[in-house]
Amino acid sequence: MTYRQIADGTAAKAATGEYPPESRMPPYSQLSALYRVSIASAQRAGRLLHVKGVVHGEPGKGVFVKGHT
């Protein structure tokens, strides 16, 4: 599985409400275990989600799904 597939799957979960707006995303360690990839791949997927505007980070708090506009 590639980081793009992880990002696409996570974005789909956000779009369907499985990850509701402003909910905290699972930590990269959990995403890596869920998708059976390295933490680096999970982090790369997280960066792609940030660039696509699906999530936003709050230093010291975590990564959150952006609210729908």
CB 29 within 8 A of CB 40: no
Q: 6-60 pLDDT, tens per residue?
A: 999 999 999 999 999 999 999 999 999 999 999 999 999 999 999 999 999 999 9
Confidence of residue 67 (pLDDT cuts 50, 70, 90): confident
Can you give the CATH number for the domain in which 53 is found?
A: 1.10.10.10
pLDDT value at residue 56: 95
C-beta neighbour count of 56 within 10 angstroms:
14
pLDDT of residue 68: 62
Domain count for the chain: 1
Identify the domain containing residue 59 by its residue range: 3-65
